[in-house]
Amino acid sequence: MVAERLDWRTIQEKEHPAYSPGEPMHALAIAYYKRYKMEIDLAGLPAPSWPEGFRCLAWHEQLLEDHTQTLAQAFEGSPDTIVFPSLGSVTGCRGLMQEIARRKAFIPEATWLVLGPDGPCGTVQALRERGVIGAIQNIGIVPRWRRRGLARNLLLQSLRGMYASGLGRAMLEVTATNETAVGLYLRMGFRRSKVVYKAVPAFTLTPEAGSAHPVLYV
């Protein structure tokens, strides 16, 4: 993932929550990650066709920890953890899953866990947005099981679940430089509806305090 540096802003010491009195401060680098909002009509989508040895489990609250662990594995080391830090740890993923599952907008029919030969290997979750459109929250496949068509099948499973719940359209967001994902979504019938920029601050102390210069993701 590559961020486009659009801005460089300085901050006062008292404005930074990580600041401890007496520590020298540097600047706050703001990196903006370009992301696409993409939409698709849900009517007429094909059924998923799972490879031998793989199947999907419908949402159940007892599967929350399986979703948590799978989500953490799927995003481990991913640049997306810079944009969404909660994806960067098991604890963060657990909190994210708990928050998604307890919201009134949660769509259990569109939330699925993929089981493979060694256990869970994929997860997807969805919410209603504005009450009329399904929104994919996260979709991830554990790295060792990628390039088998699992992401496409998992996304189809989720989209068809949205349709079964009475929705007619779905949307998702993807980082523009994730060409593999963007290409998959376009081939499946998604269309780009909007470009948004996600601001990510990158802060470090000054070299005099024993750290590196501020980081810019460019």
State how far the Cα of 8 lies from the Cα of 16, in Å rounded to an integer: 15
* Cβ contact 161:2 at 8 Å: no
Query: What is the per-residue pLDDT across 190-203, written as a single tens digit (0 to 9) for each?
Result: 999 999 999 887 65
Model pLDDT, residue 201: 78
Residue count of the chain = 218
List the domains of the chain with CATH numbers.
4-209 (3.40.630.30)
Query: What is the per-residue pLDDT across 27-83, written as a single tens digit (0 to 9) for each?
Result: 567 888 999 999 999 999 999 999 999 999 999 999 999 999 999 999 999 889 988
State how far the Cα of 38 lies from the Cα of 182, in Å rounded to an integer: 9
CA quadruple 91, 96, 97, 102: dihedral sign:
positive
Residue entry with tokens 């963060």:
92
* Cβ contact 10:206 at 8 Å: no
Its pTM stands at: 0.80
Model pLDDT, residue 82: 87
